Structure 1
Amino acid sequence: MPKAYVFTRYGGPDTEAFVDVDRPRPGPGQILIAVRAAGVNPVDWKLRTGFRRPGESGEPVFPLVFGSEASGVVEEVGEGVTGFAAGDEVFGNTAAGGYAQYALLPAEVAAHKPAAVPFTDAATLPVAAATAYDGLRQLDLPTGATVLVTGAGGGVGAAALQIARSFGLRVLGVASEGKKDFVESLGAVHVPSGPGWSERVRAAAPDGADGVYDLVGGEALREAAGLAADRAKLITAGAPGPDVEALGGARVRRARTAAVLDAVAELVVRGALDPHVTQTFPLERAAEALRTVEDGHARGKVVIEVAA
C-alpha cells in the first residue's frame, strides 16, 4: 500500500508516524498525482500543534497527512476536470497533504510544470513563492518604489525579495546578521535584525518605506508599521488580521489560482526567481526534513523527494 507521513493527533513530534494508506481517488474538480517532490513549510508543523488557517472550520479527521504543496505526474483526473491528463507534469496546493506517494490537488490551484523547472523547485512554489507574489501584487507599488520586507531570510521572504526586484522595486530586507550575504545575493539591501533594527532602516530609507511586507508579526510588525509612509501599504503574512488591521494595514489576500502558479513558474524559467532548494530528503526521512524547518535551522527551502 502507498505510504504517507502523518500526525495522529494534535501535539508534538511524538504524534508523527508513517502509515499505509489507500490510494486516493480524485473527486470532482481534483487531480491525483504520483508525488515526485513535496515542499516543507513552517505551517506544516504548526498545523500539527492545532493551528488553524484563517477561515478554517470543522473538526479534523485523524490521521492527517503533512504537506501543503507538491509536484508530480498526473495519474487520474476527477469529474469536471479539463486541461489535465494522465502523464502531465504538474504542481500545486494539496487537498489533503503531500508527504506521500500519492496526493490530491484541486485542479483550480494546480498548474502544468514547465520542463525547465525541476520537480524539487516546482514543489516549493505554491506556498512561499505564491504568498510572496500575492503580497507584492496587493501592495501594487510603482517601479522604483522602496519596499521593506521583515523576515527576509525565510522561504517567503527570499521569494519576496526576488519578485520585488523583478517588479523594479528597491528592496530592504530585515534578517539576521548570519543571512547578510544571502539577502544581498538576492538583490536587497540587508538590514540586520535585533534591537535597533528600525533605526537602521530609517538610516537606509530616511523617508520611510513606500510599502511594508511583514513576515514576522508581533513586535516586529508594530515596529515596521512606524516605517510605512502609508499604513494602507502595510501588509502581513506573519500575524492575524486583527493585529495588522489595528495598525491600519491588512493581511495578505491569497489569490490561490492557477494563474499565480503559472506566473511564479515563469519567473523561475526567466531566472528572476530561484527557489533556493538547499536541502532534500527522501520520503522515509520526512521527520528529519520537518525537524530541520521546525527547529529553525533551514536556510532556503527544504524539499522531500519521492522516488518514482
Structure 2
Amino acid sequence: MPKAYVFTRYGGPETEALVEVERPVPGPGQVLVAVRAAGVNPVDWKQRTGYRRPGETGEAVFPAVFGNEVSGVVEETGEGVSTPAVGDAVFGRPVEGGYSTYALLSTDLIAEKPATVSFADAATLPVAGVTAWEGVRQIGLEPGGTLLVTGAGGGVGVAAVQIARSLGLRVLGVAGEAKRELVESLGATHVASGPGWTDRVPGTVDGVYDLVGGEVLAEAATLLTDRSRLVTAGAPQAEAERLGGARVAPSRTSARLAAVAALVAGGDLDPHVTDTFPLERAAEALRTVEEGHARGKIVIEVAG
C-alpha cells in the first residue's frame, strides 16, 4: 500500500509516524501525482505544533500528512482536467501533504517541470523558491542597492540571495559561521549571526528580507531608514507592522511556479539541495530542518 509520513495530533516529534494509507482519488480540478521528491520546510514542523499559515482556518484532520511542496509524475486526472496529462512531470503545492507515495495537487497550483530541472530541485520551488522570489520583488530595490537577508543559509535564504544577485543587488547574508562558505559561494557578503551582529554589517542597508523573526527581525529593522523596505517571512504580520514593515505576500499560482522554475532552468537559481532522505527516513529529514542544522535545502526522495 502507499505510505505517508504523518502527525497524529498536535505536539512534538512523538506525534509522528510512517503509516500505510489509501491511494487518493483526484476530485474535479485535481490530479494525482506519484511523488518523486518532497521539499522539507520549517512550516512543516510548525504545522505539527498547531501553527496555521496566514489565512488558514480550522483544525487539521488527523492523521495529517506532512509536506507543502512536491514534484512527481501525473498518474490520474480528475473531472474537467485536460492539462497536465497522465505521464507529465510536474511540481506544485499538495492539497493534503506531500511526504507520501502519492499526492493530490490542484491544477491552479501546479506547473510543468522543465526537462533540465531535476525532481529534487523542482520540489524546492513551490514554497522556498516562490517565497524567496516574492520577498525580493516586494522590497523592490533598484539595481545597485544593498539587500540584507537574515537566515541566508537556509532554503529560502539561499534562493533569495541568488535571486537578488540576478537582479543586480549587493547582498549581505546573515548566517552562522558554519554557513559562511555557502553564503559567500552565492555571491553575498557573509555577516556572522549572534550577539551584536548588526555591528558587523558593512556599510548601509537599503532593504531587509528577514527569514528568522523575533529579536533578529527587530535588530534588522534598526539598520533601515525606510522601514517600508522591511519584509519578513519569519514573523507574523502584526509583528512586521509594529516595526514599520510587512510580511511577504506570496502569490502562488501556476504562472509564478513556472517563472521560478525558469530561473533554475536558466542557471540563475540553484536550490542547493544539500541532503536527501528516503521517505522511510523522513523523521531525520524533518529533524535536520527543525533543529536548524540544514544548509541549503533538504529533500525527501520517493522511489519512482
Shorter-normalised TM-score: what interval?
over 0.9
The alpha-carbon deviation at position 13 of structure 1 amounts to: 1.2
Q: How many residues align?
A: 304
Q: 2:260 is matched by which residue type in structure 1?
A: V
Percent of pairs with identical residues: 71
The alpha-carbon deviation at position 229 of structure 1 amounts to: 2.9
CA distance in 2, matches of 1:77, 1:256: 21
The alpha-carbon deviation at position 111 of structure 1 amounts to: 0.5
Tell me the alpha carbon deviations over residues 25-74 of structure 1, each in whole angstroms, 9 at most, x when there is no partner: 11222211000011111111111111111121112210000100000001
CA distance in 1, matches of 2:81, 2:242: 42
The alpha-carbon deviation at position 231 of structure 1 amounts to: 0.8
What is the SS of the residue equivalent to 1:108? strand
CA distance in 2, matches of 1:212, 1:281: 33
Q: 2:300 aligns with which of 295, 300, 304?
A: 304
Match in the other structure for 2:213: 217
CA distance in 2, matches of 1:132, 1:42: 14
Provide the aligned C-alpha RMSD in A: 1.1
Match in the other structure for 2:133: 133
Q: 1:297 is matched by which residue type in structure 2?
A: H
CA distance in 2, matches of 1:222, 1:116: 40
Is the Cα contact below 8 Å between 1:149 and 1:212 reproduced in 2? yes
Match in the other structure for 1:88: 88
CA distance in 2, matches of 1:122, 1:139: 25
Match in the other structure for 1:10: 10
CA distance in 2, matches of 1:186, 1:193: 17
Q: 2:98 is matched by which residue type in structure 1?
A: G
Q: 1:249 is matched by which residue type in structure 2?
A: G
Match in the other structure for 1:115: 115
Of 89-98 and 256-265, the range deviating more from structure 2: 256-265
Match in the other structure for 1:254: 250
Of 80-89 and 164-173, the range deviating more from structure 2: 80-89
Tell me the alpha carbon deviations over residues 96-139 of structure 1, each in whole angstroms, 9 at most, x when there is no partner: 01111100112111100000011011111111111000111111
Match in the other structure for 1:275: 271
Q: 1:144 is matched by which residue type in structure 2?
A: G
Where do 1:171-250 residues align within 5 Å?
171-201=171-201, 204-205=202-203, 208-250=204-246
- Gaps in structure 2 of 5+ consecutive residues: none
Tell me the alpha carbon deviations over residues 184-230 of structure 1, each in whole angstroms, 9 at most, x when there is no partner: 100101111112211221xx12xx32211011111111111111231
Q: TM-score, normalised by structure 1?
A: 0.96
- Gaps in structure 1 of 5+ consecutive residues: none
Is the Cα contact below 8 Å between 1:211 and 1:229 reproduced in 2? no
